[in-house]
Amino acid sequence: MASRLYRTTCQLYGQVLGILRRLHVEKMGTPTTVVLLALYVTGLILLDVRQTQTRVARFLPGRCHDALNRLLRVMPFSTRGLMVLLVQWVKGQALGYLSLDDVIVEKAFAQKLPWAGWNYSLAKKRQVYGLHIVVLLWCSRDGHWRIPVAFRLWRPKQACAPRAYRSKLQLAEEMLKELLVLGLTFEYIVFDTHYTAGWFTKMLGRLGCVWQGTLGPRTSVFWHGKRQSVAALAQRLHLKWRKHLQVRALALRVYAPKYGVLRLVVTRNRHGNYEYIVSNDLGAGLTSMVQRKHSRWSVETIFRDTKQFAGLGACQCWVDQAMVRHVGFVLLTFVVLQMLRRNPQESVASVKERWQLEVARDQQSPPAPLKACPPELRATA
């Protein structure tokens, strides 16, 4: 199939195919399935927008678009098995942590898509029509790797049978238990206020996991024998300035009826905004808890990068299986972009741009800078 590709795209396709073989994707199906998956991932990297099967086949004519449609819709392939391969790769790395969150992919005109529904978007501060994706992300402590190890598409209650409905918290519970069965170890798991639910955190405690989240301002806590909201408690505390963290903060131990005994860190930034960070790690220090809270941002960056550089919202299929597989292939593309880096500090955006320039240049050297260009800009002219 590589012989049918344009000369400029063969090198990128070969690199992608080699990475998929390093991840042992050939265990997922036939050789035809592997090369089609490599073609699909290559198209997601090469194209910037509208990474549909038709446009991928137009730029990479190794197979027709019908073959890519069959890969998404009818060929035997398990996205959960694909995530298992990523988990096996992660187990060979140093100890990291997990970050849990969800993202909304807007699908304003996807009225036939069972996964789509009306949801409130915190980013846009309004109701949007789209699909919800819950992701568990493994991150290395040095920040060099961000590997999605599990994901689920959340189906609205009106689009499924009553007994088949699962909330986002229930989906997160299923994913986490699957990872523990696979033997994945992690230092801690961090999430935002939505996932800091009483039954969910107690379940994590029973499983022996260290968790960290944030409380809502109305959450009731006991401190020095007095029951009060955590926001009222914060007003009574004398927070100390922490220069290395650039916030005022104080750590204490409280009892919350919904959670039990917690380690609470109250912070206030320079704008006067309070944040209530909690964990079941009662021996955690103030600095480490604030740093763990900041580490949650890694899962937000993967949502941004997959939307901008891997075509998360590009799939136009309304078949259930096709949409789930497209999300899985997008997350796999994000991993491939990281493995294509020349050094750990290189961003996935730079990797994508570098390969697009390689295809455009066709191994030719760039021309000399124009003389009219100022000297300080000639290096990038």
Could you report the per-residue pLDDT of 182-219, keeping only the tens digit for each? 999 999 999 999 999 999 999 999 999 999 999 999 99
The pairing of strands 146-154 and 211-214 is: unpaired
The answer to whether 152 touches 132, Cβ cutoff 8 Å, is: no
Between 360 and 285, the more confident residue is 285
- pLDDT above 90 covers a percentage of the chain that reads 70
The answer to whether 152 touches 141, Cβ cutoff 8 Å, is: no
The answer to whether 336 touches 41, Cβ cutoff 8 Å, is: yes
Backbone Cα Rg of the chain: 23
Stated as kind and residue range, the H or E segment containing 143 is none
Q: What is the mean pLDDT of residues 329-343?
A: 96
Nearest-angstrom CA–CA distance, 105 and 114: 14
The answer to whether 287 touches 311, Cβ cutoff 8 Å, is: no
Q: What is the mean pLDDT of residues 339-364?
A: 91
On the question of pLDDT at 381 being above 70, the answer is no
Confidence (pLDDT) at 85:
96
On the question of pLDDT at 300 being above 60, the answer is yes
Q: Residues 198-208, buried b or exposed e (16+ Cβ, 10 A)?
A: eebbebbeeee
What 3-state class would DSSP assign to 320?
helix
Mean pLDDT of the chain: 91
The position carrying tokens 């996807």 is: 110
